[in-house]
Structure 1
Amino acid sequence: MKPIITLFAALLFASCGEEPKKETTEKEEEETVKATEEVKGPQLRHVVLFKFKDTSSEEEVKQVEDAFNALPSKISEIKGYEWGTNNSPENLNKGLTHCFFLTFDSEADRDTYLTHPDHLAFGDIVGPHIADVTVVDYWTK
């Protein structure tokens, strides 16, 4: 009788465990992304690429990074923000080292950002250090 109770307890304990997680298929992930995009709708992306002057010190470049990183907390129209430095092995960056990637819900929001006093003040910080800049805006599809 004792082995039957032990077996029953073991089976009961095993059945109370966590269900194994179902692996998400690529198709399910695509459907999730599509559903998310349908809820949000198209997003306006604003991509900014900087090439710094050779005369700009690491501290000055860091000051520019910090100033750009502060903009999302100052300008509510920025709905998404990320940035990073180039690490492409293709060597096609033409000296552009920093990429800043902003998301807006509308062209009006982007236009508010462009003329916002904090963005204009950022221009005063970055201006003396920029050898080249490229900006591309696009609507997500």
Structure 2
Amino acid sequence: MFGQCGGVRKAERATQDREKLRKREMEEAKGVVKLVALAKFKEGLSESEIEQLIKGYANLVNLIDPMESFHWGKDVSIENMHQGFTHIFESTFNSTEGVAEYVAHPAHVDFANLFFSHVDKFLVFYYKPTTVRV
């Protein structure tokens, strides 16, 4: 009886793993592009000011069609290897053409001008996710 339960869980896990792999392969096939950005905000900027900037960044998803998702977080590492960067942002785009549309979009240009006036350091990296099959 208990052995069957473990077998069912393994089968469910295998199905979930296959579904995740299928989703990754579909993203690769359709040309998904990810953006990862690191920011170090200027000294003296309040948490509420940072929160407003993040909300403005997140709102770009509603204004620019090729921008499919937005996530962010703060550094929580104990290794102190962040080189002064405190926040990370991740966005997903439907294609490299979508990235170009995002970069040129007036809402992005306006937001970027505002955002960059509040950061000391900013690093941006665009990449196409690739699945490693072992």
TM bin (shorter chain): 0.7 to 0.9
Match of 2:20 among 15, 22, 33: 33
Match of 2:110 in 1: 121
Match of 2:94 among 93, 105, 121: 105
Q: Distance in 2 between matches of 1:43 and 1:29?
A: 21
**Structure 2 CA distance for partners of 1:127 and 1:38, relative to 1, 3 Å:** closer
Stretches of structure 2 lacking an aligned partner (at least 5 in a row): none
Name the count of aligned residue pairs: 121
Q: Distance in 2 between matches of 1:128 and 1:59?
A: 16
Amino acid at match of 1:90: E
> In angstroms, what is the RMSD of aligned CA positions?
1.9
Amino acid at match of 1:103: T
TM-score w.r.t. the length of structure 1 is 0.77
TM-score w.r.t. the length of structure 2 is 0.81
Shift of 1:137: 1.0
Q: Distance in 2 between matches of 1:72 and 1:61?
A: 18
Amino acid at match of 1:58: E
Shift of 1:63: 1.9
Q: Does 1:75 align with 2:64?
A: yes
Amino acid at match of 2:23: T
Amino acid at match of 1:81: F
Q: Does 1:132 align with 2:118?
A: no
Match of 1:50 among 39, 51, 62: 39
Q: Distance in 2 between matches of 1:90 and 1:73?
A: 36
What are the superposed Cα offsets for residues 17-74 of structure 1, whole Å, 9 maximum, x if unpaired?
A: xxx793233x443322111123332421111111011132223212211111111011
- Segments of 4+ moved more than 6 angstroms: none
Q: Distance in 2 between matches of 1:81 and 1:46?
A: 9
Q: Distance in 1 between matches of 2:60 and 2:117?
A: 19
Identity of aligned residues (%): 26
